[in-house]
């Protein structure tokens, strides 16, 4: 399956959790990733925080029930891409991206190559402030980000 051409303007969705918990944030990433994977979409999860990315890597191996295994790998330039879900703290794959999940405090450098950008925000004030700045930055790029509140408990696997 070849990757689709990137749109002139990616869709951007902010999922805002009530809970102020990095764990809840990562569980929601797993849920959204699982949904995209089951829809046949390739996913890049971008997070320059290598410790948090390692935690997410572990969580993706054991997420949910036995049916919810999410095949993934850490992206390495030049290596064969075998998994539909890539995690990266630095290098970015070439070409268009179907789903880009951003866990960084700033816009990812590849945002304009994505069909869909997903931002996950928990209730921690520092991350909320950074999310507000990203929301504004998307608008300055001419994009129309959408915001979705995620009630407590919905991030659970």
In a domain, 134, yes or no: yes
Band the pLDDT of 1: cuts 50, 70, 90. very low
In a domain, 156, yes or no: no
Q: What is the 3-state secondary structure (H, E, C) of the chain?
A: CCCCCCCCCCEEEEEEECCCCHHHHHHHHHHHHHHHHHCCCCEEEECCCHHHHHHHHHHHHHCCCHHHCCCEEECCCCCCCCCCEEEECCCCCCCCEEEEEECCCCCCCCHHHEEEEEEEECCCHHHHHHHHHHHHHHHHCCCCCEEEEECCCCCCC
Residue at 157 is within a domain: no
Average pLDDT over residues 14-42: 93
CATH code of the domain in which 89 resides: 3.40.50.10110
Domain assignment of residue 2, yes or no = no
Higher pLDDT, 119 or 18: 119
Is residue 1, in this structure, part of any structural domain at all?
Answer: no
Residue 135, pLDDT score: 97
State the Cα–Cα distance between residues 142 and 117, nearest whole angstrom.
14
Q: Could you report the per-residue pLDDT of 50-103, keeping only the tens digit for each?
A: 999 999 999 998 876 655 678 999 998 887 788 999 999 988 888 889 999 999
Residue 46: pLDDT band (50, 70, 90) is very high
Distance CA 35, CA 33 (A): 5
The size of the chain, in residues, is 157
Asked if residue 114 has pLDDT above 90, the reply is yes
Domain membership of residue 51 as a residue range: 11-150
- Residue 19: inside a domain, yes or no? yes
Task: Record the pTM.
Answer: 0.89
The answer to whether position 57 is within a domain reads yes
Q: Flag whether 6 is in a domain.
A: no
Overall number of domains in the chain: 1
């Amino acid at each position: 399956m070849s990757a689709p051409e990137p749109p002139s303007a990616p869709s951007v969705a902010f999922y805002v959790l009530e809970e102020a918990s990095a764990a809840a944030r990562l569980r929601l990433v797993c849920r959204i990733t699982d949904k995209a994977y089951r829809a046949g979409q390739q996913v890049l999860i971008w997070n320059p925080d290598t410790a948090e990315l390692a935690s997410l890597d572990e969580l993706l191996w054991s997420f949910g029930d036995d049916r919810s295994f999410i095949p993934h790998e850490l992206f390495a330039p030049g290596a064969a891409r075998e998994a539909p879900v890539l995690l990266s703290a630095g290098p970015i794959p070439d070409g268009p991206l179907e789903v880009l999940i951003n866990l960084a405090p700033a816009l990812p450098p590849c945002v304009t190559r994505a069909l869909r950008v997903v931002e996950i925000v928990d209730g921690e004030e520092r991350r909320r402030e950074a999310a507000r700045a990203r929301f504004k930055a998307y608008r300055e790029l001419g994009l129309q980000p959408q915001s979705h509140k995620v009630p407590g408990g919905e991030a659970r696997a």
